[in-house]
Amino acid sequence: MYRRFIFVALTVWYSLSGSLAAPIPVTHTVDSLIQYGIMQTFRCRFDSAMATFQSITDLMPDHPAGYCYQASLLQFKMMDYETDQWESRFFALCDTGIQKGKKLLASEPDNAWHSFFVGSIYNYTGLYLARSGDLVNGFVHSKKAVAYLEKAVELDPSLYDAYLGIGNYMYWSGRATKFLKWLPFVGDARKEGIRMVHTAMNRGRYSRWTALSSLAWIEYDRKAYNKAFQLFTRGITQFPGSRFFLWGLADTRFRMNDFAGAATLYEMILSDIIDMAYDSPYNEVICRFKLVKTYDGSGRYDRVIEHAEAILNMNLDQQTNRRVEDRIKQTRSYYRKAKKKQHSEM
pLDDT digits (tens, 9 = 90+) for 36-57: 999 999 999 999 999 999 999 9
pLDDT bucket at 177, cuts 50 / 70 / 90: low
Question: Can you give the pLDDT at residue 23?
Answer: 67
Does position 78 have pLDDT exceeding 90, yes or no?
Answer: yes
pTM of the shown model: 0.87
24 or 142: which carries more pLDDT confidence? 142
Which has more confidence, 8 or 339? Answer: 339
Sorted by sequence, the CB contacts under 8 Å of residue 320 that are 6+ apart come out as: 281, 282, 285
In the chain, what percentage of residues exceed pLDDT 70? 89
Computed over every residue of the chain, the mean pLDDT equals: 89
With CA atoms as reference, report the closest residue to 97 among 76, 127, 117, 115: 117
DSSP labels for 73-121?
A: HHHHHHHHHT--TTHHHHHHHHHHHHHHHHHHHHH-TT-HHHHHHHHHH
Q: What is the Cα–Cα distance from 167 to 92, expressed in whole angstroms?
A: 27
Calculate mean pLDDT across residues 288-296: 98
Tell me which of 105 and 280 has the higher pLDDT.
105
**Contacting residues for 343 by C-beta, under 8 A, at least 6 apart:** none
Instruction: Render pLDDT for 92-101 as a digit per residue (tens, 0 to 9).
Output: 999 999 999 9
Contact 152, 113 (CB under 8 A): yes
Which pLDDT does position 343 carry in this prediction? 72
List the single range of 96-105, 122-131, 227-236 with lowest mean pLDDT.
Answer: 122-131
Instruction: Give the Cα separation of 231 and 99 in Å (integer).
Output: 36
Number of C-alpha atoms within 13 angstroms, CB side, residue 79?
18
* Least-confidence region, from 19-28, 205-214, 225-234: 19-28
Residue 4 to residue 76: CA distance in whole angstroms = 31
183: pLDDT strictly greater than 70: no
| Domain locations in the chain as residue ranges | 257-346
Q: Is 279 helix (H, G, I), strand (E, B) or coil?
A: coil
Give the DSSP H or E segment for 41: helix 28-42
Average pLDDT over residues 181-207: 80
